[in-house]
């Protein structure tokens, strides 16, 4: 059987400062191996997000100026994105995308920039300091270790019903204090990993695709299809 997934690239024309579009290239690579066709569409300024149309969403990061523009526009998509998330729509959100799905973040000039509050975390800022460098985390649920590179001023604190993408083995993570990195809420996966994250962590890419497939094709038993399975990396 041939499968099809529709992917929304949120603000893909504005938020690609760190090459995070590479995550979509990795998803396409694994999708082909899974006999899945990905149809990717940028949803940007002034364009509605249709939660019934898309099976997966990607939300990257950018510089403060672009993120402020996005923070204003995304309020118009708040209800639709929240519906998608609450109905188990898979989302990968990186850095600025991660912050904007939360309640708010504090910009470089100390200004409060509102997110959409679809997830309960919030982000403060550091004074003249950034977390920069290689990072390794371990996901408790799968035992997988994720390797990446972080570069962020923001310090994020998770809220109720959120759990970290992983516990920090080396590096700083969300805030440099509680040894967490990223967030998982329902089928939303957030991280500060640039690089992009999926290029070094293929099992996470497969996990996102499999979640989207199971949601779109609920009567299909994907457990019998070996090429779709996720293997732990201890």
Supply the CATH number for residue 63's domain.
3.40.50.880
Q: Domain span at residue 136? A: 3-227
In the residue annotation, 147 being an active-site residue is answered as: no
Contacts of 141 (CB under 8 A, 6+ apart): none
Domain contains 234: no
**pLDDT tens-place string over residues 7-24:** 999 999 888 777 778 999
Domain contains 126: yes
Q: Determine which one of 121, 172, 194, 227 is catalytic.
A: 194
Binding-site sequence positions: 130
145 has a pLDDT exceeding 60: yes
Domain contains 232: no
Q: Helix crossing, 22-33 with 202-216: angle to 10°?
A: 70
Domain contains 58: yes
**pLDDT tens-place string over residues 163-194:** 999 999 999 999 999 999 999 999 999 999 98
Domain contains 233: no
In the residue annotation, 121 being an active-site residue is answered as: no
Q: Nearest to residue 158, comparing CAs of 219, 96, 101, 215?
A: 101
Q: What is the reported pTM? A: 0.92
Q: Determine which one of 95, 121, 152, 190 is catalytic.
A: 95
233 has a pLDDT exceeding 50: no
Binding-site sequence positions for substrate: 130
Domain contains 134: yes
Query: Mean pLDDT score of the chain, rounded to an integer?
Result: 91
Number of domains present in the structure of the chain:
1
């Amino acid at each position: 059987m041939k499968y099809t997934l529709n992917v929304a690239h949120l603000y893909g024309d504005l938020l690609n400062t760190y090459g995070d579009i590479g995550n979509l290239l990795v998803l396409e690579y694994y999708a082909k191996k899974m006999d899945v066709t990905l149809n990717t569409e940028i949803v940007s300024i002034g364009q509605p997000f249709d939660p019934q149309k898309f099976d997966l969403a990607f939300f990257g990061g950018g510089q403060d100026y672009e993120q402020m523009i996005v923070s204003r526009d995304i309020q118009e998509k708040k209800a639709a994105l929240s519906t998608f998330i609450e109905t188990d729509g898979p989302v990968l959100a990186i850095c600025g995308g991660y912050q904007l799905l939360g309640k708010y973040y504090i910009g470089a000039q100390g200004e409060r920039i509102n997110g959409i509050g679809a997830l309960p975390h919030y982000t403060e800022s550091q004074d003249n300091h950034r977390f920069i460098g290689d990072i390794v985390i371990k996901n408790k649920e799968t035992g997988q270790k994720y390797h990446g590179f972080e570069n962020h001023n923001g310090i994020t604190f998770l809220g109720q019903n959120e759990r970290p993408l992983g516990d920090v083995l080396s590096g700083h993570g969300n805030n440099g204090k509680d040894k967490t990195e990223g967030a998982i809420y329902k089928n939303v996966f957030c991280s500060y990993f640039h690089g992009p994250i999926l290029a070094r962590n293929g099992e996470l890419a497969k996990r996102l695709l499999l979640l989207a497939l199971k949601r779109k094709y609920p009567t299909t038993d994907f457990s019998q299809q070996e090429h779709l399975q996720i293997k732990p990396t201890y």
